[in-house]
Amino acid sequence: MDRKTELMVSLGTAIGLNCIPCFDHIYARAKEVDLAEADIQAVAAIAFKVKNGAAMFIKQAINEVVDTSAEEGAACTCPTEGTCC
């Protein structure tokens, strides 16, 4: 595998794992080898499709197991708004 492909896979993985320090580190390496911004944006788009698809499937699986109808539309109960919901 060439270096640019390795970096694109690594960027997608960092995005999928929500690891900002990993993304920042790998992005810096990608810029050193002149990986095009368009390629980085394409990797990000694919990573988000995979991540969002996985989130949709886990939500469906949970809904099949747990009755979530009582919780839909429930207010956030976090001590400070936006800290956990």
**Helix ranges, the chain (H):** 3-16, 20-32, 37-65
Q: Tell me the torsion sign for CA atoms 76, 79, 80, 83.
A: negative
Q: Residues of the chain whose pLDDT is less than 50?
A: none
pLDDT at 44: 96
pLDDT at 38: 97
pTM (predicted TM-score): 0.68
